[in-house]
Amino acid sequence: MADRPIIAVLTAPDEGRPPGLEPLEAETELRFADDREGLVRAVADADILLVTDFRTTIARDAWPHAERLQWVHATSAGVDAILFPELKESPLPVTNARGIFDHAIAETVLGFILAFAKDLPNTVRLQQAHHWQHRETERMQGKRLVVVGAGSIGRAIARLASAAGLEVEGVASRPREDDPDFTRVHGGDSLHAALAGADYVACAAPLTEATRGMMDADAFAAMAPHARFINVGRGPVVRTDALVAALQEGAIAGAALDVYEQEPLPPENPLWAMDNVILTAHMAGDFIGWREALSEQFIANFRRWQAGEPLFNVIDKSRGYGTVGG
């Protein structure tokens, strides 16, 4: 390890430098890049690659120029964009931002469920029209929520939804017995059976080869006509055309989406005009101060790296998610 470690920081072109890294300036060399050429220069003799642009694909382009990297950290929960084959096959550890966004995303999911149950979008429309209309609304208590993706974000959703009176089941790659946060955890091969009796389905699954396009026409056909679908995981897990068709045909009752196959969502997409759809701009976990929190988390892990201690939030690169210690 160099006396003054070099950290290459890859940001999005319109993002700016991450706030909160200032404590490292005196003891490390921070090299910032927001394009391929800049990253090639920054990473050449860097010890650590810090990726704050969760959509980027240029890390792979710079990989052949990285001569002494020891660790890659992503300030996002999803790492699918940077898990290119060469990195997956290398011995380098990859860590993520697990834990930072969990509760904020769970709050967003609960907010979506509340909005549907209490008809809040229609309330806003009626208020804007200056129209007084008494209505009855739904209860959340006793409703069945199925969380697709039973990792740390899924667990946070389960805890918050359970506190609000919902009965929460999960879907994971493998079934689990006696889970402390879910009444039951189904395996991925039982997805459609799990969806069948749900009042709400919240997708918090990572994007992997197994989950890409998982929520397709067959999955939506398995859901009940009164069910609402929520996606706060990764956009490509859902086939947008299948979701649009399910909404148009009444196969499901509504959807709340924070992530999309194509971002930004094109203005001509039919989802924009649907009264039973709530759309947010990939912001479910972005609470005030989240950028600083990500830097604090990275610095805490950097201290472990400095001391030769095991890193936390290490990704299982063969699976594309989760932690394998720390």
Task: Look at residue 326 and tell me if it is in a domain.
Answer: no
Q: Is 228 one of the catalytic residues?
A: no
Q: What's the mean pLDDT in 51-56?
A: 90
Catalytic residue among 89, 263, 292, 309: 263
pLDDT at 3 (0 to 100)? 78
Query: What is the domain extent for residue 78?
Result: 6-99+288-306
Q: For the residues 98-119, what does the mean pLDDT come to? A: 98
Same domain, 120 and 92: no
pLDDT at residue 61 is higher than 90? yes
Q: What's the structural domain count of the chain?
A: 2
Per-residue pLDDT at 322: 67
282 is catalytic: yes
Closest-CA residue to 171 (of 125, 210, 137): 210
Residue 186 and residue 61 share a domain: no
Same domain membership, residue 215 and residue 168: yes
Residues 31, 234, 239, 291: which is the catalytic one?
234
User: Helix H segments across the chain?
Assistant: 36-43, 59-62, 85-89, 102-117, 120-128, 152-163, 191-196, 217-222, 240-248, 290-306
Domain assignment present for 317: no
196 and 214 co-located in one domain: yes
Cβ–Cβ < 8 Å for 72, 47: no
Token pair, residue 200, equals 């709400």
Query: Which of 65, 176, 282, 304 is the catalytic position?
Result: 282
Are 136 and 249 found together in one domain? yes
Q: What is the pLDDT of residue 326?
A: 35
Strands of 191-245, DSSP E: 200-203, 228-231
Asked if residue 324 is part of any domain, the answer here is: no
pTM: 0.93
| pLDDT score of 106 more than 90 | yes
Mean pLDDT, residues 225-254 taken together: 98
Residue 201 shares a structural domain with residue 299:
no
CATH (domain of 49)? 3.40.50.720
Query: Could you tell me which of 53, 157, 150 has the C-alpha nearest to residue 105?
Result: 157
State whether 155 and 263 are in the same domain.
Answer: yes
Is there a single domain that holds both residue 113 and residue 170? yes
On whether both 122 and 248 belong to a single domain, the answer is yes
104 membership: H or E segment, kind and range: helix 102-117
Q: Is residue 299 part of a domain?
A: yes
Please check whether residues 198 and 254 belong to one and the same domain: yes
Asked if the structure places residue 316 within a domain, the reply is no
In this structure, what token pair is assigned to residue 268? 């001509």
Q: Are residues 149 and 251 in the same domain?
A: yes
Q: How distant, in Å, are the alpha carbons of 45, 54, 220 from that of 155?
A: 39, 22, 23
Residues 162 and 93 in one domain: no
